[in-house]
Amino acid sequence: MKRIVPGEVSTGELHQYLLGSVSPRPIAFASTINKDGVNNIAPYSFFNCFSSNPPILVFSSNRRVSDNTTKDTLANIEANGEVVINAVNYNIVRQMAVASVGFPDDVSEFEKSGLTPIPAEKISPMRIAESPAQLECKVQQIIPLGDKGGAGHLIICEVVMMHISEDVLDPDGKINPHKMDLMGRMGRAFYVRASGANVMPIFQNVNEMVIGFDQLPTHVRQSNILTGNNLGQLAGLKAWPNKESATAFFDKDENLEAKLKQCESAEAKFQMAKDLLENGDQREAAAAVIAMI
Ligand SMILES: Cc1cc2nc3c(=O)[nH]c(=O)nc-3n(C[C@H](O)[C@H](O)[C@H](O)COP(=O)(O)O)c2cc1C
């Protein structure tokens, strides 16, 4: 492993190692208003949600590494304590990139990026109309993390009102990630688009005990065919089947039984289990196949 000791590399270099390692990050497209009433928007990816009750978001505005200056968003929040945090999806990511340019504080990035300001309900900064989720926030606290270039200021925000586009909701009212189509920031100039094949569900019941990796039979753990992810799926089972319960499983599923009969070797059975795990997370079926080895 490459070893990196903070203090032994430049701040710029360390910054890139941090960003590439803590990645992808959600993006807060922060909308604030300055003392002269100019609307400001800028993206911040040192950002996350830290509490639901109370609803708390935190992002960090850093001192520029080049000249140790601070940013307009921070100055505006220090002046009036309000910010709208807008989500960034694929449709607006290029306009967001324009808004990240260091325009002077008397220039509104709404005009420069072509995004549309619409009034918030509870605070004075504008929402970004094109954003699929707009969170109106009152700032509770600003915590400076240092006084040198690269030092952050944690901006702790309480959400007082959320607006979510009906277009990203499923009929049951839940957010559909594919419709939301959010962007994440990675290291260097890389972004990730969170929709399509890159979004996957991982179902794991956390309210009931499971067997865990250590209770998987040794020959299963040592299989050259199953991956760490496959074993993770099997470790999430409530119980490991014996031959009897596996046979009962196949009695209920003729197709599976027919496929199993075609597997002549242990390798073929492991491969069948792997396919079941990777196509639809069929863990009980996969475990039953392995139990027949
Ligand atoms: C996707 C993205 C994420 C960014 N994240 C941060 C961040 O977390 N902290 C920060 O200080 N600057 C961040 N920046 C840089 C600021 O957006 C940039 O310095 C901007 O000009 C600040 O605008 P302001 O002076 O109007 O606040 C980011 C830029 C981009 C494009």
pLDDT per position as a tens digit, 36-47: 999 999 999 999
Kindly state the DSSP code that residue 252 receives in the 8-state scheme: T
Residues enclosing ligand 1, CB less than 6 A? 27, 40, 42-46, 60-62, 71-73, 97, 100, 102, 185
Q: Which atom of ligand 1 is nearest to the CA of 63?
A: 11
Q: What is the pTM of this model?
A: 0.94
pLDDT tops 90 at residue 48: yes
Ligand 1 centre and the CA of 282: distance in Å? 43
Label residue 208 by pLDDT band (50, 70, 90).
Answer: very high
Domains of the chain, earliest start first:
11-198 (2.30.110.10), 213-291 (no CATH)
Label residue 205 by pLDDT band (50, 70, 90).
Answer: confident
Type of residue numbered 19: L
Average pLDDT over residues 68-74: 97
Kindly give the interhelix angle for 228-235 and 266-278, rounded to the nearest 10 degrees. Answer: 80
Closest-CA residue, ligand 1 atom 20, reads 100
Label residue 72 by pLDDT band (50, 70, 90).
Answer: very high
Q: What are the distances in angstroms from CA 213 to CA 228, 274, 290?
A: 10, 16, 15
Average pLDDT over residues 214-226: 97
Tokens of 93: 């990511």
Ligand 1 centre and the CA of 97: distance in Å? 9
- Neighbour-count burial for 185-220, b at 16+ CB within 10 Å, e otherwise: bbbeeebeebbeeeeeeeeeeeeeeeeeeeebeeeb
Average pLDDT over residues 146-172: 98
Ligand 1 centre and the CA of 93: distance in Å? 13
Average pLDDT over residues 181-203: 96
Label residue 247 by pLDDT band (50, 70, 90).
Answer: very high
